[in-house]
Amino acid sequence: MRLFVASWSNDGLIHSPVVMKLSRRQSNFLLAAGLFTLFSWLTRAYTWHANDLQSEPYLALLHFPIILVFLVIGGYITYLGVRGRRAS
């Protein structure tokens, strides 16, 4: 998998032509971390539906965007892990 390296300097964000390659171990770690994140936040979404939404609707509205953001993050990390495994 090819990820481009970016760094920050006084002139702003600098995109380097250097390609960062993921090893098989790094890809497996990303995949495991992504699956763990998805599993933990899917169970949190279930408890949100079962408990918060039925008892405290205002608190549930506060938690819902947090759950969605972490599900998207978990999905993206899983995607990077799967893509890295296919490339290596």
Q: How many CA atoms lie within 13 A of 76 on its CB side?
A: 6
pLDDT in tens, 33-75: 999 999 999 998 888 877 777 777 787 788 888 999 999 999 9
- Residue extents of the structural domains in the chain: 24-87
| pTM of this prediction exceeds 0.85 | no
The structure tokens 């990303």 sit at: 30
Comparing C-alpha atoms, which of 11, 32, 18, 42 is closest to residue 77?
Answer: 32
If you count them, how many residues does the chain have? Answer: 88
Cα separation of the two ends of the chain: 7
